[in-house]
Every structure is written in structure tokens, then in C-alpha cells.
Structure 1
Amino acid sequence: MNKRVLILSGSPRKGGNSDLLCDEFLRGAQESGHQVEKIFLRSKKVDPCNACYHCKKSGGKCAIQDDMGEILDKMQQADVIVMASPVYFYSIDAQMKAVIDRSVARWTDIPNKEFYYIMTAAEDTDTVMDCTLECFRGFAACLKGAQEKGVIYGKGVYEAGAVKGLPVMQEAYEMGRQV
């Protein structure tokens, strides 16, 4: 069955390590016949949530006029959501955090999604991505019927492109093929 796959690339660097892993996942998923779209979050305007809760009084329409409504529409339409972020102080980066927080406008309208997580870090310790992964899992735990399907760990990569040629690139491609 062909699925609609939405990749949310939180990398602040186009062609950064987590963004490159997103591209490999995308390539694998497309080769398997899925409809895939990648959103490079840094190229979108997504302001932080201001907790006004206008969205609760207006059927999920946010008071902030930016690109988040479009992103939420795509999240609702997707069967699969891939969330990618480099590790920033053992957590997710600001681009991804803003998207997660702004999902409050329609989080109850994003049920039954399959989730894949892609993370990269300069460190290569076993625990470097624990908090980052928990941020992703915490978001999915709030969504009815969410299923975690896979996690990609790109450890020990700092400079943009350092992930090229590493086995994790093939792993991302194969995970995309198996969606």
C-alpha cells in the first residue's frame, strides 16, 4: 500500500547531517512507491506558541499568521511522519520544538500516524540522544494511535556532511524503503 510520507527536517543547516539522512530516507521511501514530501523547517516561518489558546476557540485556527497551518495540514494528511533533529544541548533544536509546540492548535486531529525519528550528534556516546528521543516520543505519546516504527542514530558527526559515507546513510535509506 502506498503511503503519504511527510519528513520534517529540523536541521538548521541545509545539507546538514540530519538533513542528509532525511534525503536518504526520502530516496528509499520514494523508490518503494510512496508519496514523499520533505519540509525543511528552517525555510518556513514558524513562530513560537504564545499560549493565547485562540486555536481552542476557533476550531484549530491559530492567531499567528505563519506557515504552521500549512505544516499542520500536511501532518494531518500524512500516514507517516518523519521527525529529524540534530542534538542541541541533549534535546531537539528550536525549529522542531516550535513545530511540536504549535501543534497544540490541532494535535487531536493528528491520529493514527506512523513515526520515524532521525537524530544526529557530534558526540558518539550511547546516551547522547536519550533526551532528544524522549522529546519526539513525548510528542507522539500525546497523539492517539501513534506508532513508533524506527529510529536513526547518527552519532559522532559534527561538520555538515560528516555523515556521508557512514553506515547510517544506508540505514536511513533502508528504513525509508521499508515504510
Structure 2
Amino acid sequence: MKKVLVLSSSLRKGSNSETLAQEFAKGAAEAGNKVEFESLRGKKIGFCMGCLACQKKGKCVIKDDAPAITKKMESADVIVFATPIYYYEMSGQLKTMLDRANSLYSSDYKFREIYLLTSAADTDAKAMNIAKRGIGGWIACFDGVKLKGALCATGAESAGDVKKNSALLKKAFAMGKKA
């Protein structure tokens, strides 16, 4: 059994990327994993100040919701990032959270597997490539950590569009089941 943290960065309830994340979570749970779903919606997460105090203290000194989320990331075996694609990149919410998770770099993090789930209005699957590269840059900072899978819901402009694509939902579920 693995501890799987699914982190949804969309601020829109019932968003396409969150729907993919929920399907992944269902698959991971069905496979016998312990799954925790965390949404950034409603969370207060300020920008990293670059002070590097987190490297000495083991946690961020900013008093908001980010340190608690970072703690969950640290203890997870698998982290799943779900994000809408904005201008061919991950959402600002997710990028800000990744910056704020800087304390993980010098920690005894458990995660070794990362998954990326995205949704984009663009109809080309390449729409996620820059976000995938951004997540890859974050992953490169951690020894032994790999991107195990990525999925992009293309043509998902309106909330609920992903729910109409049963093949894509099955892929997200299957990906979760393999986590």
C-alpha cells in the first residue's frame, strides 16, 4: 500500500483537471492505496520570498496554508499534480505551491513517483508540454524521483467537458490503479 497525495490546483469547483484527479484517486484507492485529496481552492498560499529559512528550519516561515500541504507532500509515496493549462503552462496556484515546497529539498521526503494531470482548451495534446517541462524541473531537484505518467484532457474549455469523455476518465482511473 502506498500513500498517494492528489493535489488539485484548480480554483473552479468541478473543474476538468479536478475531475481527472478524482478519477485517478478512485483508481488508486481501488488498488488498495491510502489516498488523500487536497485542493488548493480556498487555501491561502503566499509567494515564496526566497529567504531560504526553510532550508535551515525544515519548514517555511510564512504563516499560511502552504506548510501544512508541504508536510503532506513530504510523507506521501506518490504525488499527483492536477492543473488546468493556462497559456500553455501550469496554473499560477500550482507553481506558487511548488515554490513554497522548497523545504522538501533538504528533507527526508518519501515521494518517488509523480503524476501530472492537466486539462486544456487547446485540442492538441502538446498543450501540456511546457507544464510537463516545469514539473520536470521541480522533479529534477529530488534524487530518485520520476514522472511516472502524464495525461492531458484536450478540448476541455467548459467546466464538465471531461465528464463527456469516458475513454479519458478510464485512462485517469487506470493510471491511478497503477500508482
1:37 aligns with 2:39: no
Q: Tell me, which stretches of 5 or more residues in structure 1 are unaligned?
A: none
Separation of aligned partners in 2, 1:31 and 1:11: 24
Quote how far apart the aligned CAs of 1:158 are.
0.9
TM-score scaled by length of structure 1: 0.94
User: Is 2:54 the partner of 1:55?
Assistant: yes
Alpha-carbon distance, 1:112 to partner: 4.7
CA contact (8 A) 1:111 1:144 kept: no
* Partner of residue 169, structure 2: 169
Question: Cα deviations across residues 110-169 of structure 1 (Å, max 9, x unaligned)?
Answer: 355211110110001242111011111111111111022111111110101100031211
For 1:114, the equivalent position in structure 2 comes to 113
Compute the displacement of 1:105 (Å). 2.4
| Cα separation, 2, equivalents of 1:26 and 1:112 | 16
Task: Tell me the C-alpha RMSD between the 2 structures.
Answer: 1.3
Displacement of 1:54? 2.3
Task: Select the residue among 75, 84, 89 that pairs with 2:82.
Answer: 84
Q: Contact 2:79/2:111 (CA < 8 Å) preserved in 1?
A: no
Distance in 2 (alpha carbons) for counterparts of 1:80 and 1:48 = 25
Unaligned runs of 5+ in 2: none
Aligned residues of 2:77 and 2:110 also touching (Cα < 8 A): no
Deviation string 1:39-63 (CA, Å, 9 cap, x unpaired) is: 1012222111011222234x22222
Distance 1:47 1:75, change over 3 A: same
Q: Deviations over 1:61-96 (max 9, x none)?
A: 222101111111111110000011111111111110
| Alignment size in residue pairs | 177
Secondary structure of 2:164's aligned partner = coil
Larger deviation, residues 79-88 vs 98-107 = 98-107
Percent of aligned pairs with the same amino acid: 39
